[in-house]
Chain A
Amino acid sequence: MKAALAAASEALDLDRLEVRDLNRRLQGAETGAAFEVLNPLGRHSLAVGLRRPVEVTLRGHVGYYCAGMNDGGRIAVAGNAGTGLAENMMSGLVRVTGDASQSAGASGHGGLLVIEGNAAARCGISLKGLDIVVGGSVGHNSAFMAQAGTLTICGDAEAGLGDSLYETRIYLRGQAGELGADCVEKEMRPEHLAQLTDLLARAGIAADPADFRRYGSARELYRFRVSNLGAY
């Protein structure tokens, strides 16, 4: 991404611009435009609602909902990200070089979210098709009620992983705390290894797919039956 940005990126300095001005500029940019956002200083709702493949690099830490509902943008955060990073993302690429706070990628529908550091609780909650790759570990209740897409964790996962999971696939290299309800370890078949290899390659993370285990839904709780009551 750095190489692409080096071509002709326009600098937008949040010491001089309001968040509204920044988003208006980014949302209205033509396909292929590139921007470098300076001095984000933890401000919220930066680079939200992008609708075209524009390149945006935020130089510093960002607050809540950075890249929210991104649909096509290629957004990089050179720093840490606050709550709700890339929430409800539809397509495109979001990459954070540092750590992400809770609910990263929440309810995301598509595209790729890469967190090179760790992600806090509820990473990938209510996931609906987005692929998330975390270089480090994730907090509790990650992939809670996740419906589609993938969550790849190169480190460990705290308790409640995949609780009430639907069809999201979870790939985990490290250790899992107590698994959430209806989340089970599953066989890593060739198609899963192929998918994981592709995810890691696209995320630019060097890890051996053979070191990962796969988790998914036991599908025992899909229908609400008396026999399920003990699961909650």
Chain B
Amino acid sequence: MSHDRSPPAHLRPSALFDAATIHEIQRAAREGLYKIRGFGAKRALPHFDDLVFLGASVSRYPLEGYRERCGTDVILGERHASKPLHLQIPITIAGMSFGSLSANAKEALGRGASAVGTSTTTGDGGMTAEERGHSNLLVYQLLPSRYGMNPEDLRKADAIEVVIGQGAKPGGGGMLLGQKISDRVADMRSLPHDVDQRSACRHPDWTGPDDLEIKIQELREITGWEKPVYVKVGATRTYYDTLLAVKAGADVVVVDGMQGGTGATQECFIEHVGIPTLPAVRLAAEALRELGLHRGAVKLIVSGGIRNGADVAKAVALGADAVSIGTAALIALGDNRPELAEDYAKLGTAPGYYDDWHLGNDPAGITTQDPDLERRLDPVAGGERLANYLRVLTLEAQTLARACGKSHLHNLEPEDLAALTVEAAAMAKVPLAGTDWIPGQGY
């Protein structure tokens, strides 16, 4: 007997009201509350896949693919910090909080990043001993909530990141539902133990770029002008935000595109606010070029949907000095892996689809505070997987850079790229493949 549940061929599905849309309308009608989830944007957006590299040929000379040196390091903080960060690879781990992630996950991120000479970042909730202990280079976030913020941890950090927004929810604050607020998380955040924590979306003690400049001065005064100061924004008005962040004194501007992930927020936010990473990189680099600072004293880190070495290389070619990964790092640790299919099925989901990072029942032990689940993640093994993944990203990016004749990833440039779609050509401002046409720049 056939168990094929596909609808008969004569039934025509609606492109507008597709199955997921109908399901969400039915859920909303039943529950009366918007959908909250983790992960990043799931709908198709213009991305780095819409670009290709123009490898060397007659008119360009490649580097030998396996032997000739192709540098990958990056220095962050040369503008004002007396102790800049020197990363061995231009791929960093984005801010993800203890609370959103388990302590084992934070430790694994630190182990993996440290093994390949790069940094991790704290998150909305403060610094844990685990992540400081296992991250050779740790960026401490100053967020609107100021949960767990204290000057001793500020001094322990290797860099400070003033978070104004993130790609998954520019203009929105953090969210951590009650089931993930363990006693330790609540105590670190000075919160009652049984609340749904919704963080503020704006800083409590400054309101605009002129204030931000003074705020950054204060942070530098407290830390002796040693540490690089990053300013992180969700990608929206990226050109102006970059200019203003530089004016306010940032050593590093971090731009998080709308594909950037989150531990929890409203789905309508994830899918409908912000601009894709592709145009955001170009806009931020354009602003730095205008200021004469591109590839100079101020560095640009870009995040939001970085998955492979090609994404890394394309982001760098468009102007980033480094990228950050979040979702991909969690997948490398073990999130959404097929071995957990039975556990996912019990939660009504499947490997590759799991995005209920806000619920705290993650069978991979990553986005949870449940001690039994957390034990499922071995931080040593997880760290090794992450280190392997970071090595692969780096090798892939180097391979592509060598093919373009570049002896350092930072020598990649927009001229090395062509676009496969008109949209990507317009957003990245590189020519449509086979033409010299960039939309908006004439014929």
**Residues of B close to A202: CB separation below 8 A:** none
Asked if B214 contacts A45 (CB within 8 A), the reply is yes
Most A Cβ at <10 Å: residue of B198, B217, B222:
B222
User: Is A180's beta carbon under 8 Å from chain B?
Assistant: no
Q: A64, A65, A107: which contacts B146 (Cβ < 8 A)?
A: A107
Q: Mark B304-346, 1 if CB is under 8 A from A, else 0.
A: 0000000000000000000000000000000000000000000
Q: Cα distance A218–B1 when bound, in Å?
A: 60
Q: Contacts A69-B154, A87-B205, A223-B178: A49 and B190 contacting too (C-beta < 8 A)?
A: no
**Residues of A close to B195: CB separation below 8 A:** 166, 222-223
Asked if A84 contacts B206 (CB within 8 A), the reply is yes
**Residues of A close to B205: CB separation below 8 A:** 65, 83-84, 87, 102-103, 106-107, 125
What's the least CB distance linking B126 to chain A, in Å?
A: 11
Asked if B190 contacts A63 (CB within 8 A), the reply is no
Taking residues whose C-beta sits less than 8 angstroms from the other chain, chain B's interface range is 20 to 34
What's the least CB distance linking B112 to chain A, in Å?
A: 31
Q: Contacts A166-B191, A166-B195: A145 and B200 contacting too (C-beta < 8 A)?
A: yes
Whose C-beta in chain A lies nearest to the C-beta of B146?
A: A107
Q: Cα distance A136–B313 when bound, in Å?
A: 59
**Residues of B close to A25: CB separation below 8 A:** none
Q: Cα distance A51–B155 when bound, in Å?
A: 11
Q: Cα distance A109–B206 when bound, in Å?
A: 18
What's the least CB distance linking A145 to chain B, in Å?
A: 6
Q: Cα distance A201–B277 when bound, in Å?
A: 56
Asked if A44 contacts B198 (CB within 8 A), the reply is no
Whose C-beta in chain A lies nearest to the C-beta of B216?
A: A45
Asked if B194 contacts A65 (CB within 8 A), the reply is no
**Residues of A close to B292: CB separation below 8 A:** none
User: Is B4's beta carbon under 8 Å from chain A?
Assistant: no
User: Is B223's beta carbon under 8 Å from chain A?
Assistant: yes
Number of A-B residue pairs with CB-CB distance less than 8 Å in the complex they form: 105
Q: Cα distance A23–B226 when bound, in Å?
A: 14
Asked if A88 contacts B151 (CB within 8 A), the reply is yes
Asked if B214 contacts A63 (CB within 8 A), the reply is yes
**Residues of B close to A90: CB separation below 8 A:** 150-151
Q: Mark A27-69, 1 if CB is under 8 A from B, else 0.
A: 1000000000000000011001101000000000001110011
Enumerate A139-189 residues with CB–CB distance to B below 8 Å. 144-145, 147-148, 166-167
Q: Cα distance A24–B221 when bound, in Å?
A: 8
User: Is B204's beta carbon under 8 Å from chain A?
Assistant: yes
Asked if A166 contacts B192 (CB within 8 A), the reply is yes
Asked if A45 contacts B218 (CB within 8 A), the reply is yes
Asked if A88 contacts B150 (CB within 8 A), the reply is yes
Q: Cα distance A44–B149 when bound, in Å?
A: 21
Asked if B215 contacts A71 (CB within 8 A), the reply is no
Asked if B214 contacts A103 (CB within 8 A), the reply is no
Enumerate B149-195 residues with CB–CB distance to A below 8 Å. 149-152, 154, 177-178, 189-192, 194-195
User: Is A129's beta carbon under 8 Å from chain B?
Assistant: yes
User: Is B133's beta carbon under 8 Å from chain A?
Assistant: no
User: Is B33's beta carbon under 8 Å from chain A?
Assistant: yes
**Residues of B close to A107: CB separation below 8 A:** 146, 149, 204-205
Q: B145, B196, B206: which contacts A224 (Cβ < 8 A)?
A: B196
Most A Cβ at <10 Å: residue of B149, B151, B177, B204:
B204
Whose C-beta in chain B lies nearest to the C-beta of A83?
A: B205
What's the least CB distance linking A229 to chain B, in Å?
A: 8
Q: Tell me what chain A mostly uses at the interface: helix, strand, loop, or mixed.
A: loop
**Residues of A close to B211: CB separation below 8 A:** 64, 83
| Interface residues of A, count at CB 8 A | 43
User: Is B65's beta carbon under 8 Å from chain A?
Assistant: no
Q: A64, A68, A225: which contacts B222 (Cβ < 8 A)?
A: A68
Q: A20, A45, A71: which contacts B151 (Cβ < 8 A)?
A: A71
Asked if B222 contacts A69 (CB within 8 A), the reply is yes
Asked if A49 contacts B191 (CB within 8 A), the reply is no
Most A Cβ at <10 Å: residue of B31, B145, B217, B221:
B221
User: Is B224's beta carbon under 8 Å from chain A?
Assistant: yes
Asked if B200 contacts A68 (CB within 8 A), the reply is no
**Residues of A close to B32: CB separation below 8 A:** 226
User: Is A126's beta carbon under 8 Å from chain B?
Assistant: yes
Q: Cα distance A126–B148 when bound, in Å?
A: 12
**Residues of B close to A95: CB separation below 8 A:** none
**Residues of B close to A45: CB separation below 8 A:** 214, 217-218, 221
User: Is A213's beta carbon under 8 Å from chain B?
Assistant: no
**Residues of B close to A19: CB separation below 8 A:** 221
Q: Contacts A107-B204, A222-B194, A224-B198: A68 and B218 contacting too (C-beta < 8 A)?
A: yes
**Residues of A close to B224: CB separation below 8 A:** 24, 27
User: Is A74's beta carbon under 8 Å from chain B?
Assistant: no
**Residues of B close to A122: CB separation below 8 A:** 204
Asked if B204 contacts A65 (CB within 8 A), the reply is no
Most B Cβ at <10 Å: residue of A51, A65, A68:
A65
Enumerate A117-132 residues with CB–CB distance to B below 8 Å. 122, 125-126, 128-129
Q: Cα distance A45–B215 when bound, in Å?
A: 8
Q: What 3 A-B pairs come out closest when comparing CB atoms?
A: A49-B222, A84-B205, A107-B146
Excluding A49-B151, A87-B205, A224-B33, 15 further A-B contacts by CB distance (< 8 Å) are A20-B221, A64-B218, A65-B214, A84-B205, A88-B149, A88-B150, A107-B146, A122-B204, A126-B146, A128-B146, A144-B204, A166-B191, A222-B194, A222-B196, A223-B178
Query: What are 24 A-B pairs with beta-carbon distances under 8 A?
Result: A20-B221, A20-B225, A23-B221, A48-B221, A63-B214, A68-B222, A69-B222, A83-B205, A84-B218, A90-B150, A103-B205, A106-B146, A107-B149, A107-B205, A109-B150, A125-B205, A126-B204, A128-B146, A166-B192, A166-B195, A219-B192, A223-B195, A225-B33, A226-B31
Q: Which residues of B contact A (CB under 8 A)?
A: 31-33, 145-146, 149-152, 154, 177-178, 189-192, 194-196, 198, 200, 204-206, 211, 214-215, 217-218, 221-225
Q: Which residues of A contact B (CB under 8 A)?
A: 19-20, 23-24, 27, 44-45, 48-49, 51, 63-65, 68-69, 71, 83-84, 87-88, 90, 102-103, 106-107, 109, 122, 125-126, 128-129, 144-145, 147-148, 166-167, 219, 222-226
